[in-house]
Structure 1
Amino acid sequence: MAHMHITAWTLGLILFIIALNLYKKRNQKIATIAHMVLRMIYLFIIITGGQLTWDYFQGYEMPIFGEVIVKAIAGGWIVVMMELILTGTKKGKANRADWIQFWIALVIVIILGFFRLPMGFLFFQ
């Protein structure tokens, strides 16, 4: 499940960058298509992330639950920020605060997901 989740958010980030660049170039039709596909990927990210969260609650003990919950909230926060950044860019609005929140949430998720929690890189050795 972890590999499916990583694949889903990697595709999500790639589509986010593509849609963002298309909106900035004022190519609205293709950008809207990429944005709609990204919204479908959001669903896959949320479903696989929810399954991973459930797996953590089923297979591990109490001390990591707080970090799992923070990672889940930050993951949802990233999805919301990606959507707000794209809609703001589409409307031509400045969205510096959204970008700051996106980067903070992304750092939290990467640190917890890859380096702190048991299904991350440090535990696959």
Structure 2
Amino acid sequence: MDFLTSSTHLHITTWVIALVLFFVAALASKSKGIHMALRLFYILIIITGGALFIEGMDYNMGMDYGIKFILGILVIGMMEMVLVRKAKNKPTAVFWVLFAIFLFAVLFYGFKLPMGENFLA
């Protein structure tokens, strides 16, 4: 298995685990430990995404991968805002909506790019 394939699978695995942890933390009443584990996965997502971004330069699609990278950072930001505002008992509806929009955009954009998995083929 070459680096490109393994890093893509590692990236997908980290964000799937992070999404599961996020929803568990959002539904749990006390989620401090889960939230800390989720922050570790944020770092892993950024590292593996950065590796894919560097690999994306070989496809001469740096801007497209850069946009996806920024969308991914926005998703992580909205996840963090939801959990922090929930812990402070502040309204989170706007951040849930932004999270859903950014998540849809980053998934659509990521699977459309050349290193993405093509589920329709």
* TM norm structure 1: 0.86
CA deviations on 1:84-105 (whole Å, 9 max, x unpaired) are 0001111111111111111111
Runs (5+) with no aligned partner, structure 1? none
Q: 1:89 matched to which residue of 2?
A: 86
Higher helix share goes to which structure?
A: 1
Quick check: 2:78–2:96 contact (8 Å CA) kept in 1?
Answer: yes
Q: CA deviation at 1:75?
A: 0.1
Q: Where does residue 10 of structure 2 map in the other structure?
A: 4
The CA distance in 2 between the partners of 1:49 and 1:96, in whole Å, is 28
1:111 maps to 2:117: no
Residue 40 (structure 2) pairs with residue 34 (structure 1): no
Runs of 4+ in 1 over 6 A off after TM superposition: none
Q: TM-score, normalised by structure 2?
A: 0.88
Q: Paired residue for 1:60?
A: 59
Aligned length: 115
Mapping for residues 15-54 of structure 1, pairs under 5 Å: 15-23=21-29, 28=30, 31-54=31-54
Q: Deviations over 1:2-39 (max 9, x none)?
A: 0000000000000001111113xxxx2xx100000101
Amino acid at match of 1:121: E
**Matching of residues 70-89 of structure 1 within 5 Å:** 70-89=67-86
Task: Output the CA distance in 1 between the equivalents of 2:41 and 2:107.
Answer: 19
Residue identity (%) = 38
